[in-house]
Amino acid sequence: RTSSDLARLAGFAPHFRELVVDDAWRSEVAALAEGRHGLVRTYAQRLARLYLSDFDANALTGMYRMQLLPERAWRLLLEGHAGGRLLDVGAGSGDVTAALAPCFDEVEATEVSSGMARRLTKRGVRCHAVDLTEAPLADAAFDAVSLLNVLDRCQRPRQLLRHCLQALAPGGVFIVALALPYRPFYFDGPATPDPLERLDCDPGPAGAWEDGARRFIERDLLPLGLRLQCFARAPYLSAGDSARALYELDDVVAVLSKP
C-alpha cells in the first residue's frame, strides 16, 4: 500500500508523495515471491537462530532477500538530491542498497553483522564494520546518508540518529525508513531485548499509519534540525520461506535535508 489519508497527516500532507505501483514494480515483487526458500533451508535458518541473531542466521543461510523501493521511486523521492557519495547505515546484505545505489556516484555502507558485511563486500560495496550507535564514523562527510529499517532494531536509536547526522555534510540529504507501527527490539545473539532508548512515534494501539508517520517526523526527526523534503508510504518486503511467499511491513520513508 502506498496511499494515505491526507487529512490525518494534517500540516505534513503537502510533503506526502503517493508512489505509483507500476508493472515493473509488480514484476519485482513477483520475482521476490518466487524466490521463497523451501523447507530444508527454512529449518536450517531456524536452527541457526537458536545460537545467532536473525541477521547472522540470514547471512549464514542466504535467506530473506529484501525489497523496499525500486530505483524509479527513489529518484522521485530524491527530487534532484541525487549524486555524490552515499553512506548506507546498517545495510544488511545490500538488497535495498542496490536499488538506491544508482542514484549516487559512490556508495559505502556500515554493518555490524560480520556475515552481512562479507556479503556487502562480495557485492562490491565498501563496508565499514562499525556500530554507529556506539560512536560516529571518523572524518566522514557524505552527501547523503540512508538509514533504512534500522532504528527499530538497535539499542540506542536517538544516538544513532545523531551519529548519522555527524557523517552528513551540510546541505546533504538524510533518507530514513521505519516500519509502523513502531515495535522496537534489538538482537543480542539469539535474544531480543528492549532497546535502551525509544523513539517518540508510537501513537498507541488505536493509532493509524498516518499518526505514527506524523509523530515520527515531528517528534524524532525535525527536532534534530532537519528540513523535511518529502515522505511516502511503502511496503517493506522480504522473500518468504516454507511458511509463506512474502513477509511485509508498512514503512514510512522520509527524505530530509541538513542545513
Phi, psi dihedrals of residue 32, rounded to the nearest 5°: -65, -45
What is the tens place of the pLDDT at every residue in 159-203?
A: 999 999 999 999 999 999 999 999 999 998 899 999 999 999 987
pLDDT of residue 89: 96
**If we measure between CA atoms, which residue out of 146, 159, 173, 129 comes closest to residue 68?**
146
pLDDT of residue 205: 66
pLDDT tops 90 at residue 58: no
pTM beyond 0.85: the answer is yes
Give the three-class secondary structure for 235.
strand
Q: Where are the alpha helices (DSSP H) in 62-203?
A: 71-78, 95-100, 114-122, 157-166
What is the tens place of the pLDDT at every residue in 236-251?
A: 999 888 888 999 999 9
pLDDT tops 80 at residue 78: yes
CA pair distance 170, 252, nearest whole angstrom: 24
Position 206 confidence tier, pLDDT thresholds 50, 70, 90:
low
Q: Is the dihedral of CA 237, 163, 16, 84 positive or negative?
A: negative
pLDDT of residue 30: 93
Consecutive H or E run containing 211 = helix 209-215
**All cell numbers assigned to 213:** 508517520
Q: CA–CA distance from 8 to each of 1, 16, 79, 209, 255 (Å)?
A: 16, 12, 24, 9, 20
CB 59 within 8 A of CB 93: yes
Q: Residue range 2-29: average pLDDT?
A: 93
